[in-house]
Amino acid sequence: MPLIAETAVSGTAYSFDMLFSYAVPEKLKADIACGCRVLVPFGKGNKRRIGVVMKLSEGDKKGLKSLVSLVDAEPVISEELLRLALYIREHTFCTYFDAVKAMLPPAMSVSAKETFRLVKNFTDISSLSNEAAEFLEILSGTAGSKELNELIEKHIIDKGRHLPDELCDAGALDSDNVFRQAVGDAAVRMVRLTEKYMSAPEGFELTPKQKKVADFLEEFGSAAVREAAYMCGVTEAVVKRLCANGAAEEYEAEVLRRVEGDTDEKRSPQDIVLSDEQQKAHDTVLAQLFERKPAVFLLHGVTGSGKTSVFEKLIDDTVKMGRQAMLLIPEIGLTPQILKRFRSLFGERVAVIHSGLSLGQRLDEYKRIKRGDADIVIGTRSAVFAPLSDIGLIIIDEEGERSYKSDSSPRYSTHDIAKQRCAYHKSALLLASATPSIESYYLAERGVYKLLEMKERYQNSPLPEVSIIDMNLEREAGNRTEFSRRLAEEISLNLKNGEQSILLLNRRGYHTIISCCDCYQPVYCPNCSVPLTYHKKNNKLMCHYCGYVSDPVEECPSCGSKHLKNMGFGTQKLEEELSTFFPTARILRMDADTTFSRYSYEKSFRDFREGKYDIMIGTQMIGKGLDFPDVTLVGVLSVDKALYAGDFRSYERTFSLITQVVGRGGRGERKGRAILQTFIPEHYIMNLAAAQDYKGFYNEEIAIRRAMIFPPLCDMCIFCFAGGEDFSVKVGADAVLGLMNCKLRELQPKTPVRVLGPVRCSYGRINGKYRYRIIMKCKNNAEMRDYISGVLTESAKLKEMKGIALYADMNGDVGV
């Protein structure tokens, strides 16, 4: 009986995506399996595309095209993950292939290159059609392999595969498919000057921008491509042209010779001593592990309550049972610290997956996990797809962080994927945080999750004493600096006592914006509806959304006025002012500008822990999960703006950020203090965060969400539109709204639905694309998912949607 392969094909649009059926040739029957990648002919021109076999069945192959060849000798995706891919497609409205691709390390992506050669002894010309015979004669006159392949490739693009395929079938042409895997492309592309340029620079004609990059490389030897572009205030294209010119060359840098986290210290799980509260939480989850039934726990523990020790014990218990464990964390910056802890306990049994590793390293870690050499996986969001075969426990630390929700296709929630995997493996999912998401705590209150609480800090070290400083009074008293007098005194005291301080300011750059004194307009990015940020280090205006860079402007682009003023305060300016106030202080700045290409999270945090710096300043990346015993002072300089971010989650994020960063202090033997500076001291968020009163915050927040009907009281699907012209995007969004209302009238859904919009997104233009959104409050059930899928498919046929991109994001961010 003929074998049929139902295949997820790459490069399809959601509007016509499905599993495409192909006949399996006899020669491939013995080797093909579900989860293998294959090469398939696709579309009218039979263009070769990569696909993944999702299902195999016996059936009639009449009218079906045949698979061309197998890419993999064995499946790259397990049966469990294939089932998960179907779940992801249904819940995130992506294509089948995108769902599968998300599960594989980037280094495993393959491209196919087809090569042809003429068969020398072919004589059966009479079997060919006239067209094919003429084409063969043209091919026979080519000068060599390169010309032959270029001619056939051009013919396939212009006229399709009909004639090349006829010649192959008749035996006049041979065709081979070469698969190239992206292994070895390092995460960091470095650039350096060539020896030829170094010995005779005068022999090169460089543009002024290229000369700037060359001078920079001459001084520093080498740099990441991205770093060189940033420091010279040019685009990466300038660096590439310098390489094309022969003056510089790109090369791959092994960011880390092996995955970081080595430790000389060896610990035993038996040495971990748990407090009564920790033991109680541990024992409850352990009982569930023995039962081998899926369950979700929410561990709500105050900052410093020792959640990591509970994780270590539970992971030890899990691997002793012969099962595997996974620990997910929200930020790459936390990985080295966590990895070091777990490697000291479990050695090489720990694998790590995150985007800061080179492609080769990620591939090697993936192979170690698949082979069974590692049974503990630590990583960020994508690690949830690690190819473990017998998961006993998944832990999601700092579970309320939004980084666990993917904002590009497939737009999955890590929590949902973890629940699916735990259901399949009959294992426990442990969500943990000092500030759980409102959704998780709501489910715990209703008994869907089992709530575990740790209300005391480990070894009873007290929470920092928090002072809220009214910055309005500081301004009235003539203090125009960003430091209240109280914060300046406390920093002085810490420096005198040899204790460390952390200052959080959630804005990188120098001045936040440059504004016109006449028309009051800020200087906007030409590609985005976002003001540019001034960066003093390279004396440039930069857009943090699309990467646009320009020199500081002399006049207002809106009205031509030369009266411009710098407004706002970023981490670069804070560093400069701190150095002025405290000239002897050793200051470490941690934000995306200082860490993006130097991979210095680990080194900087280690240096700070070892006492090489007195003060660490940074954005929200320093507020989460880090443990510095010598930090006794935490200052929060400005989070007021975050409260009004235009998203219903802005209160939750602000409360979480303040609570987390305040919790960094007083973790050692000395008591901690925290200073919270604000222009709205009476706001209940400030007071509840200062008191670390999560329950009080939750009660306030859930009341607002209930009144306004926001998640978790409903689900919210965001339909996002983007295109090159503002008016056409609005027209397209209106047309889709009409389609949605029409389909809703037909459907008469069983659960209430409310459609809002279309409205312009908070940032109405990003990277040259105008953006609108429609928000739909609904219930995330099969009926509504089917409806959303129908809207996406049918909207592609609307003439108003020509040239406009649309995607749907269930419970995604509203305020972007």
Residue 326: CA count within 13 A, CB half-sphere? 31
How many residues does this entry show for the chain? 816
How far is residue 70's CA from residue 815's CA, in Å, rounded to a whole number?
Answer: 45
528 is in an annotated binding site: yes
The Cα angle at residue 328 between residues 325 and 329, in degrees rounded to 5: 145
Q: Which residues contact 318 (CB under 8 A, 6 or more apart)?
A: 289, 324, 325, 392, 393
Rounded to a whole number of angstroms, the distance between the first and last alpha carbons of the chain is: 54
Q: CB burial class (10 A; 0-12, 13-18, 19+) of residue 60?
A: exposed
Q: How far is CA 627 from the centre of its chain?
A: 24
Tokens, residue 786: 């089917």
Strands in 43-172 per DSSP E: 47-58, 69-70, 110-118
Strands in 586-712 per DSSP E: 587-590, 615-618, 631-638, 673-678
525 is in an annotated binding site: yes
- Number of helices and strands in the chain (H, E): 26, 32
Residue carrying structure tokens 């009341």? 703
User: What does the DSSP assignment read for 413-436?
Assistant: BHHHHHHHHHHHHT-EEEEEESS-
Taking alpha carbons only, the member of 577, 360, 592, 357 closest to residue 487 is 577
761 is in an annotated binding site: no
517 is in an annotated binding site: no
Q: Which residues contact 261 (CB under 8 A, 6 or more apart)?
A: 335, 336, 339, 340, 342, 343, 350, 352
Separation in Å, CA 4 to CA 1, 20, 64, 98, 629? 10, 10, 9, 22, 62
Tokens, residue 441: 């705590």
Residue 468: CA count within 13 A, CB half-sphere? 19
Compute φ and ψ for 522, nearest 5 degrees.
Answer: -75, 165
Residue 574: CA count within 13 A, CB half-sphere? 30
Q: What is the sign of the dihedral through the CA atoms of 37, 42, 46 and 48?
A: negative
How far is residue 108's CA from residue 363's CA, in Å, rounded to a whole number?
Answer: 7
- Whether the bond between 712 and the residue before it is cis, its omega within 30 degrees of 0, is yes
34 is in an annotated binding site: no
546 is in an annotated binding site: yes
Q: How far is CA 275 from the centre of its chain?
A: 36
Q: What strands lie across the sheet with 69-70, from one edge to the other?
A: 20-23, 3-9, 47-58, 37-42, 69-70
**Residues pairing with 133 in the sheet:** none
Taking alpha carbons only, the member of 46, 38, 114, 42 closest to residue 77 is 38
422 is in an annotated binding site: no
User: What does the DSSP assignment read for 709-775?
Assistant: T-TTSSEEEEEEEEES-HHHHHHHHHHHHHHHHHHHHHH--SS--EEEEEEEEEEEEETTEEEEEEE
Taking alpha carbons only, the member of 344, 381, 204 closest to residue 264 is 344
520 and 560 in contact (C-beta within 8 Å)?
no
714 is in an annotated binding site: no
H helices present in 429-546, as ranges? 438-445, 471-476, 485-497
How far is residue 683's CA from residue 468's CA, in Å, rounded to a whole number?
Answer: 11
Which residues carry a binding-site annotation? 516, 519, 525, 528, 543, 546, 556, 559
Annotated binding-site residues for Zn(2+) read 516, 519, 525, 528, 543, 546, 556, 559
